[in-house]
Chains A and B, each alone.
Chain A
């Protein structure tokens, strides 16, 4: 997530995500965005090129009769 954004920028990001919120919820979004940004900022920025994410695609899970 961008490191420093102001309220208007957050609301623009929300509109880009299809969230055109009433004013009351916009305040909530701005506060929640700050919480989520802090979390995301703590994630490691430098990861190895081949570091795989924890979710992997298992083609056998999608054979007929399965999920």
Chain B
């Protein structure tokens, strides 16, 4: 390739094609990203660790292997990053917490093992909210990440650095986690694609838990096509993850046929008009996205789901208890090491009665069943992922409990949910579209997202 500026806007798919054709060197590509990180990340704080030497060594090895025997996978020779809650053997994994300031795992997370086997190049570890739950915070191990579209704005959380790094062209692919929207929210805020896969489709083993029963690991990238490539690498049964599903893995890229004619799209209008009304500009962007699908030949249908607040109350009751079980002993012995925001969000979990936890788990069954009943009548649901990002500033930690989201319901139900960019607000911040599929039909979600990206101009615009 001729210039570094072209390299950092290559998608995974484009880079893979060039590497396979011997027109791009993994070493050249890796160096381009490392140089860009060195140049820009001081403004973004999207990385907490950059593994430069290791990345260059992996890139040299990939280059030699590809030259000798061809690429092992579409990820061979392609750089990527991990949220700093994925265990990486020999590399500090902090969850941005003072509690884990010196934590160096002995073993890789299952996802990292798969990425290494595919020949990917680990560039480093990305910023997160503390333990993927408390943030944004300024009193923890590292400062919060900033949004590349405007560094005064939030990249949302908790996979903040993962989304910011992709949007800024500091990495073509990153891997985050999503317990209530932590992949989709940052993807939405930063104008990229991010998938929360079906619960159990991607191993959580070695990913520091937030809330066991709702945690999902998944990819973030510039395009849905890249998400499909990354899912092909990381999806699959892991006997060491008790929640892992032992199911056939489809060919995700083959599903991207660019055609959505005849698909039935459900829209939970009551959520958008009554439960959590959209702001007018967000509604206009959403209406425009629906018009795109009408034009592509899809059928739109109103669907009725239980009130969105019920999903919030169930998830957060379960989460505050599970979080307390994970962090209770540290709260008792060294509460000062927690950031203020995270401490607030878990401290009352020890006071929730066992009866209330089980009651929430019982109602989760009711809500999941209601979701699957509706999903049986449509191919996908559609709704915005979130309102466009706001300023990066301290938030009242109680906002987590008092502000519903459009994402959490699908953690409760376990359905796959994808966020894609759906335009830009007057202030330049991205709008988002969320596409939700049937359980284990992640391929259709990707097919719909890819068709939308190809029918709209939003992937041509990058942060300045």
Chain A residues close to B by CB (< 8 Å): 1, 10, 13-14, 17-22, 25, 28-29, 31-33, 35-36, 38-40, 42-45, 47, 51-55, 58, 61-62, 65-67
Contact = CB atoms under 8 A, between A and B. Distances in A.
Interface string B312-333: 1110110010000000100110
A1 B321 CA distance: 12
B23 interface: no
A-B pairs, 3 with minimum CB distance: A53-B361, A54-B364, A35-B401
A58 B364 contact: no
Interface of A is mostly: loop
Given A53-B365, A55-B213, A36 B317 contact: yes
A6 to B, nearest CB: 14
Contact of A43 (B205, B242, B332, B359): B359
18 contacts: A1-B356, A18-B350, A21-B347, A25-B347, A28-B340, A31-B398, A36-B316, A36-B317, A36-B351, A39-B317, A40-B313, A43-B360, A43-B363, A44-B366, A47-B363, A53-B362, A54-B213, A54-B361
Contact of B351 (A1, A47, A52): A1
B242 A36 contact: no
B233 interface: no
A39 B401 contact: yes
Interface string B292-319: 0000000000000000011011101100
A14 B360 CA distance: 21
Interface string B232-250: 0000000111100000000
B100 interface: no
Interface string B352-375: 110010111111111010000000
B348 A43 contact: no
B368 A36 contact: no
A40 B352 contact: yes
A65 B344 CA distance: 38
B315 to A, nearest CB: 9
A18 B359 contact: no
A22 B360 CA distance: 30
Contact of A14 (B213, B350, B362, B402): B350
Nearest to A35: B401
B348 A35 contact: yes
B335 A21 contact: yes
Interface string B392-403: 000001100110
A9 to B, nearest CB: 10
Contacts of A39: 312-313, 316-317, 401
A21 B331 CA distance: 9
Given A1-B352, A35-B402, A52 B362 contact: yes
Nearest to B310: A42
Nearest to B331: A19
B353 A1 contact: yes
Interface residues of B, number: 44
B313 A42 contact: yes
Given A36-B352, A40-B356, A65-B239, A19 B366 contact: no
A14 B366 CA distance: 31
A43 B356 contact: yes
B365 A52 contact: yes
B169 interface: no
Contacts of B313: 39-40, 42-43
Contacts of A45: 359
A12 to B, nearest CB: 10
A33 B242 contact: no
A66 B242 contact: yes
A36 B349 contact: yes
Contacts of A20: 332
Interface string B265-304: 0000000000000000000000000000000000000000
A28 B343 contact: yes
Contacts of B241: 67
B146 interface: no
Contacts of B349: 36
B213 A47 contact: no
B344 A31 contact: yes
